[in-house]
Structure 1
Amino acid sequence: MNRKSSARSGPYKVMLVDDSSVIRGLLSRWLGADPAIEIVASVGNGQVALNSLERTDPEIVVLDIEMPVMDGLTALPLILKAKPDVQVLMSSTLTAKNAKVSLQAMSLGAADYIPKPTTNREVITSRSFQTEIIEKVKNLAASKRKLLGYRPFKEETDAKSAPEQDVAKPAPVSKPKTLVTRKASLTAPRIIGVGSSTGGPQALLKFLNGIKDGLNLPVVITQHMPSSFTKILAGHLSKATGLDCIEAEDKTLLENGKVYIAPGDHHMVIKNDGGNRYLRLNQDPPENFCRPAVDPMFRSISDEFGSGSLCVILTGMGQDGLKGSKYVVDNGGTIVAQDQETSVVWGMPGAVSEAGICHAILPLDEIGGKIQRLVKGR
């Protein structure tokens, strides 16, 4: 069995790249304790990672940003050039500088980022960081295997009961089930709501570039991100699209043609005061383990705009947005979702697609055009 084939069977193969031996040790213990994960390399800088790629053949590389010899941002494109199918998860501390670098890394091809606590002591005691990195590694690896035609780990048959040459073969590709789609609302859209998570920053960029010409509706976005990242994301999107994208503040008045990003650690909802619609921020309990969450935003959109609600679910892990999307459709609104092939993780869009509540399930580069046609009544 060659190394390339073996990387597509059994546990997900992970390489850790971090200059802190303490962090590498912790991640090795946490990730290695999960039966779905195998640590194939643990190295201290980007150059060593590059030198180890062919020998270890990882599916996921957890890549620190700040390292000696070769930092993460320098190593990233070289890793992707050497192994185009590898998923790179950037690991960065919660600083404005690293938020900018993380967004830059995703524009260069990183699949996602994991915000880690600032100090080793905080990393050691952070249960949420431990849970998040395990979930992200497994979801990214499973999604990539599915796209390549291989079974995710949980679907693997017992290797002992199958001939060795068969274990590494791609899983039989079953005919995809037909997903039910619904007619769009006959009411002209009056707002565009967007939910996204893993892989979202780059998806949002493409989506907004696809709808920006003649945009005359407000756009509200919930992207799962920590508070130190969302303002940076808004600035990044503004610069890259030419749209007026801002991190929302409490009691911000909704204006046509503007894009509002929910700030990290706050749900964003729409309220009405004498006909004036504005944004309210709150720190109500997380929904779907998320704050900000898509569901409360979608519910508030539907309450205020009814059948004039047009909502989009982009790439993301989990099922946030499913209940809110059902609420939108029950009130006459329209849902559009990103397809599996172009999603970094088809969790969120997959959930609404398989629920049969979408008007359309499309590749990312076709969603903007579809939204424009719906807005123009075509």
Structure 2
Amino acid sequence: MIRVFVVDDSAFVRRAVGRVLSGEPRVRLVGEAASGAEALARIPDAAPDLVTLDLELPDTDGLDLLRALLRRRPTLRVLMLSAHTRDGAEATMEALEAGAVDFIDKSGFSLLDLERLRGELVPRILAQALATRAPRASPAPPATKDQTRPVTAVDLCVIGASTGGPAAVQHILERLPASFPVPVVIVQHMPPGFTRAFADRLNGLCSLAVTEAVEGDRLAPGRVVVAAAGRHLRVTKSLGVVVADEPAAAHMPSVDVAMLSAAAARGGRVLGVLLTGMGDDGAAGMAMIRARGGVTLGENEASCVVYGMPRAAEARGAVTHLLPLPEIAAWLAGLRVA
């Protein structure tokens, strides 16, 4: 059973979350707080496994409280409740960088709709129950001779991620040099309104140029494009970008849609990377990339926030190398194209 503590200044939100969790036998609500001070005072005794945390509190910034909670207990899992305003999206990206495991865009639906709230909240909580919180990734070590390997004729890298992905993607991109020899496509599961802020934040932190994908973009070395939330990204044979609303899928953007299009367009010239996340999106795409002769890297259980998507790909025999996140970063940083 996973123990949950709710921090929100709205009594209505606290009641709504409590009603949803009361009907879930695998979850126990162990406490609540309406302010940062109450949270800091009550959480130690409540000993939750996971805290839901509103970004806006009356007495403190939600980001400051997040950092304080993780300083006290680095293994605590924190799920942010956010809004997709520009300020809210940027703050959410900071929260994920600081160690939050996931977020819910509470402005995307009515909190009166308890079934929708249950659908957004409970799967995220249960996903954390299946995972052991790994320490935040340390800087990647210098690439060893085995990690710095030539990969013949690779001309595109596609990276997919979900829960825990923003911090993992940032960890990788911060370690790639400006001379990284192939373009990069990022497919990160996020609700509409957040991927542009995600791309903008990465652009300010990385040596490569990072933008949100738009129709007609051209993929080239030195560039990273982030698939826009709510739409799929496909790659053409000429390394162009097509943004599409079809097919309907559980995730938009879909890692599978991007990877399958890349494998169809470029064959064995694709490098696929699948990072932390729940579910199996990306498993079919990784399998196709490997079947076409491409190379695939999967994040292993030791560093995943949720070992779901890479596990599904590994179960299909779709992963060439299963590595912890720092080793994936080092492998990519040492990539040489023959």
Both structures adopt the same fold (TM-score exceeding 0.5): yes
Spell out, residue by residue over 1:171-214, the C-alpha distance to the aligned partner (whole angstroms, 9 max, x if none). Answer: xxxxxxxxxxxxx9964211000001111111111111232342
Indicate the residue corresponding to 2:34 in structure 1.
44
- 2:82 touches 2:106 (CA, 8 Å); kept in 1? yes
Indicate the residue corresponding to 1:108 in structure 2.
98
> Among 323, 331, 334, which residue is 1:370 paired with?
331
Deviation at 1:359, TM superposition (A): 1.3
What secondary structure is seen at the aligned counterpart in 1 of 2:44? helix
2:130 is aligned with 1:130? no
Indicate the residue corresponding to 1:29 in structure 2.
19
CA RMSD of superposed structures (Å): 2.0
Larger Rg: 1
Indicate the residue corresponding to 1:246 in structure 2.
211
TM-score, scaled relative to structure 1:
0.82
> Among 267, 285, 307, which residue is 1:306 paired with?
267
Q: Which amino acid aligns with 1:197?
A: S
Indicate the residue corresponding to 2:191 in structure 1.
226
Spell out, residue by residue over 1:257-287, the C-alpha distance to the aligned partner (whole angstroms, 9 max, x if none). Answer: 2000000100000124xxx331011111333
- 1:185 touches 1:332 (CA, 8 Å); kept in 2? no
- Mapped to 1, the partners of 2:2 and 2:59 lie a distance apart of 28
Query: Residues 187-226 of structure 1: matches in 2 within 5 Å?
Result: 187-226=152-191
| Counterparts in 2 of 1:283 and 1:127: CA distance versus 1, 3 Å | farther
Query: Residues 86-165 of structure 1: matches in 2 within 5 Å?
Result: 86-117=76-107, 122-125=110-113, 127-144=115-132
Spell out, residue by residue over 1:35-60, the C-alpha distance to the aligned partner (whole angstroms, 9 max, x if none). Answer: 11000012211211110112110000
- Mapped to 1, the partners of 2:103 and 2:118 lie a distance apart of 14
| Counterparts in 2 of 1:126 and 1:297: CA distance versus 1, 3 Å | farther
Spell out, residue by residue over 1:63-114, the C-alpha distance to the aligned partner (whole angstroms, 9 max, x if none). Answer: 0011112231121111112222210111112211111111111222212211
Indicate the residue corresponding to 2:241 in structure 1.
279
- Mapped to 2, the partners of 1:71 and 1:332 lie a distance apart of 49
> Among 38, 54, 67, which residue is 2:57 paired with?
67
- 2:16 touches 2:114 (CA, 8 Å); kept in 1? no
Q: Which amino acid aligns with 1:25?
A: R
Deviation at 1:369, TM superposition (A): 2.3
Q: Which amino acid aligns with 2:39?
A: A
TM-score, scaled relative to structure 2:
0.91
Query: Residues 356-367 of structure 1: matches in 2 within 5 Å?
Result: 356-367=317-328
- Mapped to 2, the partners of 1:342 and 1:186 lie a distance apart of 25
- Mapped to 2, the partners of 1:131 and 1:230 lie a distance apart of 21
Indicate the residue corresponding to 2:201 in structure 1.
236
In the comparison of the two structures, how many residue pairs are matched? 325
| Counterparts in 2 of 1:340 and 1:291: CA distance versus 1, 3 Å | same
| Counterparts in 2 of 1:118 and 1:261: CA distance versus 1, 3 Å | closer
- 1:267 touches 1:297 (CA, 8 Å); kept in 2? yes
- 1:45 touches 1:71 (CA, 8 Å); kept in 2? no
- Mapped to 2, the partners of 1:362 and 1:118 lie a distance apart of 35
What secondary structure is seen at the aligned counterpart in 2 of 1:205? helix
| Counterparts in 2 of 1:65 and 1:186: CA distance versus 1, 3 Å | closer
Q: Which amino acid aligns with 2:120?
A: E
- Mapped to 1, the partners of 2:220 and 2:151 lie a distance apart of 23
Name the structure with the higher helix share.
Answer: 1
Percentage of matched positions with identical amino acids: 31
Deviation at 1:219, TM superposition (A): 0.5
2:11 is aligned with 1:18? no
- Mapped to 2, the partners of 1:126 and 1:326 lie a distance apart of 37
Deviation at 1:372, TM superposition (A): 4.1
What secondary structure is seen at the aligned counterpart in 1 of 2:263? helix
- 2:4 touches 2:29 (CA, 8 Å); kept in 1? yes
Q: Which amino acid aligns with 1:24?
A: R
Indicate the residue corresponding to 1:292 in structure 2.
253
- Mapped to 1, the partners of 2:185 and 2:115 lie a distance apart of 31
2:227 is aligned with 1:265? no
Structure 2 runs not aligned, ≥5 long: 136-148
Structure 1 runs not aligned, ≥5 long: 1-10, 149-183
Q: Which amino acid aligns with 1:264?
A: A
